[in-house]
């Protein structure tokens, strides 16, 4: 069995059932197998050409069976407004926008199929899906590592009617093509019925999540030299999301225990900008202690990040979009390393931070940019940034060490080069 979770980033789901006008005030809930497969096929066609054949074969297998759903508590709502009347240019017409609103704790839907596909390939497919339903229904999707307990299941005696395709190839034709050919329903499609079991499950505690990536979008992406500020702004935006939901900020994010004491060993979240050609294109969030499902329910949505007069969107994307570097004995800084202590040589401080004596260490002054955190700019002497090349006894994955390591400074990886 495989299960996918679609997180609705705006907390809403907009979709018109087949055959209904937008002003009919109906919402297709849950999303029909027809709609799901169309979204998955669109994702498959965004993959590199060499992967499409195997991706479509995987989806063809999914389409052979009806999915089951685990849906949370939701509320139907609508807005009414006036738009231009295309038949009478000097007048307006009333429009109805009906949608599903999720409970703030569970703004997602879980969908499972009784098959066992290649989950790596499936994750690459669903990583290309940005919305489900109408285009304002933004989503972030990923597979689950456990089975779901469905509360909406296929059942001929059920009262929920949704559309599915019996012929996979029909799914790749456009709605306009069906209409031009005179079809009121797509050929080889059928209505299937589902039964609501009347059970609303609380989300299961899944295994902890240790890494996620937010891709940035907006005009004039921030320069590499803004890495500390952009990391601080994303962190603040996340904190505000918790406050708006009257939820306490977890220690995995703010780095303090219940008594307000700092956590040891850098267990809490590190916000690590990903830099391409001198611009910050994404921010990787790594957390040694991990994020639980309650924390992830807040993190899996879009955040607005403001930097000066610029505004950016930070959207969670699949880890495959920005894969982590492989382990290596030789690590180099990709962002400047700043000494965290006022006393001690560079060699001694690096050795202390790594927890071992490197087999070799090469360093030189890299930049004198002001990379201090905002809270330290009036209380701490400006620091220079060092380039490090470190050889360890055993291979190591990427690390972050030194001052500001939770905000993108001191990133050690097999790839060298500070573009700022």
CATH, residue 391: 2.60.40
Asked which of 271, 297, 321 is the last residue of a domain, the reply is: 321
Give 331's strand partners: 390
- Is the torsion defined by CA of 15, 20, 21, 26 positive or negative? negative
C-alpha to C-alpha distance for 206 and 349, rounded to whole angstroms: 38
Residue 202 inside a domain? The answer is no
C-alpha to C-alpha distance for 38 and 41, rounded to whole angstroms: 5
Given this model, what pLDDT does residue 342 score?
87
Residues 138 and 280 in one domain: no
Residues 353 and 276 in one domain: no
Contact 268, 289 (CB under 8 A): yes
Residue 88 inside a domain? The answer is yes
Residues 29 and 140 in one domain: yes
Given this model, what pLDDT does residue 395 score?
87
In the block, which residue shows the tokens 């969670």?
316
Residues 79 and 167 in one domain: yes
Given this model, what pLDDT does residue 201 score?
53
- End-to-end Cα distance, the chain: 47
Given this model, what pLDDT does residue 233 score?
95
Given this model, what pLDDT does residue 46 score?
93
C-alpha to C-alpha distance for 403 and 249, rounded to whole angstroms: 23
Contacts of 86 by beta carbon, 8 Å cutoff, 6+ apart: none
Beta-carbon count within 10 A of 13 CB: 26
pTM confidence score: 0.59
Residues 263 and 346 in one domain: no
C-alpha to C-alpha distance for 64 and 113, rounded to whole angstroms: 10
Give 351's strand partners: none
Given this model, what pLDDT does residue 50 score?
92
Residues 75 and 19 in one domain: yes
Residue 419 inside a domain? The answer is no
List the CATH number of the domain containing 215: 3.30.70
Residue 420 inside a domain? The answer is no
Asked which of 286, 306, 321 is the last residue of a domain, the reply is: 321
From first to last of the 420 residues of the chain, give the pLDDT tens digit.
Answer: 899 999 999 899 999 888 777 777 789 999 999 999 999 999 999 999 999 999 999 999 999 999 999 999 888 887 877 777 777 777 887 777 888 998 766 889 999 999 999 999 999 999 999 999 999 999 999 999 888 999 999 999 999 999 999 999 999 888 888 888 888 888 889 999 999 998 665 555 557 899 999 999 998 999 999 999 999 999 999 999 999 888 889 999 999 887 788 888 889 999 999 999 999 999 999 999 999 888 988 998 899 999 988 999 999 998 888 988 888 899 999 999 999 998 999 999 999 999 999 999 999 998 878 888 888 877 777 788 999 999 998 888 899 999 999 999 999 987 544 343
In the block, which residue shows the tokens 């039964």?
195
Given this model, what pLDDT does residue 415 score?
57
Residue 204 inside a domain? The answer is no
Q: Which of 194, 217, 197, 188 is nearest to 9 (CA)?
A: 217
Residues 22 and 162 in one domain: yes
Residues 400 and 302 in one domain: no
Asked which of 133, 162, 196 is the last residue of a domain, the reply is: 196
Could you give the angle at the alpha carbon of 42 between the alpha carbons of 39 and 45, nearest 5°? Answer: 155
Given this model, what pLDDT does residue 204 score?
52
Q: Kindly state the tokens that stand for 35.
A: 């709609």
Residue 201 inside a domain? The answer is no
Number of domains in the chain: 3
- Is the torsion defined by CA of 31, 37, 39, 40 positive or negative? positive
Given this model, what pLDDT does residue 417 score?
42
Residues 54 and 168 in one domain: yes
| Structural domain range at position 379 | 328-413
Helix (H, G, I), strand (E, B) or coil at 13: strand
Residues 152 and 272 in one domain: no
C-alpha to C-alpha distance for 353 and 342, rounded to whole angstroms: 14
Residue 203 inside a domain? The answer is no
Q: Which of 123, 104, 30 is nearest to 317 (CA)?
A: 123
C-alpha to C-alpha distance for 142 and 131, rounded to whole angstroms: 13
Residues 42 and 152 in one domain: yes
Residue 264 inside a domain? The answer is yes
Residues 313 and 350 in one domain: no
């Amino acid at each position: 069995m495989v299960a996918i979770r679609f997180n609705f980033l705006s907390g809403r789901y907009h979709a018109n059932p087949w055959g209904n006008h937008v002003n009919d005030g109906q919402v297709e809930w849950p999303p029909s197998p027809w709609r799901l497969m169309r979204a998955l096929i669109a994702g498959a066609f965004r993959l590199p050409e060499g992967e499409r054949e195997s991706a479509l074969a995987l989806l063809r297998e999914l389409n052979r069976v009806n999915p089951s759903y685990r849906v949370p508590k939701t509320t139907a709502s609508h807005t009414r407004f006036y738009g231009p009347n295309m038949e009478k240019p000097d007048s307006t017409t009333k429009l109805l926008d009906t949608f599903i609103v999720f409970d703030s704790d569970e703004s997602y839907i879980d969908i499972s199929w009784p098959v066992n596909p290649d989950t790596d390939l499936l994750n690459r497919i669903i990583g290309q899906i940005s919305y489900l339903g109408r285009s304002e229904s933004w989503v972030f999707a990923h597979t689950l590592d456990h089975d779901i307990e469905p509360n909406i299941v296929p059942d001929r005696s059920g009262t929920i009617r949704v559309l599915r395709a019996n012929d996979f190839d029909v799914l790749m034709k456009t709605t306009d093509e069906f209409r031009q050919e005179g079809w009121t329903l797509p050929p080889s499609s059928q209505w299937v019925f589902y039964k609501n079991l009347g059970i609303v499950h609380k989300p299961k505690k899944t295994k902890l999540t240790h890494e996620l990536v937010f891709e940035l979008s907006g005009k004039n992406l921030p320069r590499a030299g803004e890495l500390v500020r952009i990391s601080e702004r994303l962190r603040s935006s996340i904190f505000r999301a918790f406050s708006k939901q009257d939820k306490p900020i977890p220690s995995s994010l703010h780095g303090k225990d219940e008594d307000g004491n700092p956590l040891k060993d850098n267990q809490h979240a590190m916000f690590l900008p990903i830099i391409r050609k001198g611009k910050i294109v994404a921010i990787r969030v790594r957390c040694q202690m991990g994020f639980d499902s309650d924390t992830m329910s807040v993190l899996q949505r879009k955040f607005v990040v403001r930097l000066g007069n610029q505004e950016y969107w930070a959207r969670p994307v699949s880890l495959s979009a920005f894969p982590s570097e492989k382990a290596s004995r030789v690590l180099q800084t990709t962002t400047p390393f700043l000494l965290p202590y006022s006393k001690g040589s560079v060699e001694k401080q690096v050795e202390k931070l790594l927890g071992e004596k490197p087999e070799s260490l090469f360093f030189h002054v890299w930049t004198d940019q002001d990379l201090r955190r905002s809270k330290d700019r009036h209380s701490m002497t400006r620091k220079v940034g060092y380039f490090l090349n470190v050889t360890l006894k055993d291979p190591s994955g990427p690390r972050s060490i030194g001052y500001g390591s939770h905000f993108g400074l001191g990133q050690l990886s097999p790839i060298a080069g500070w573009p700022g």
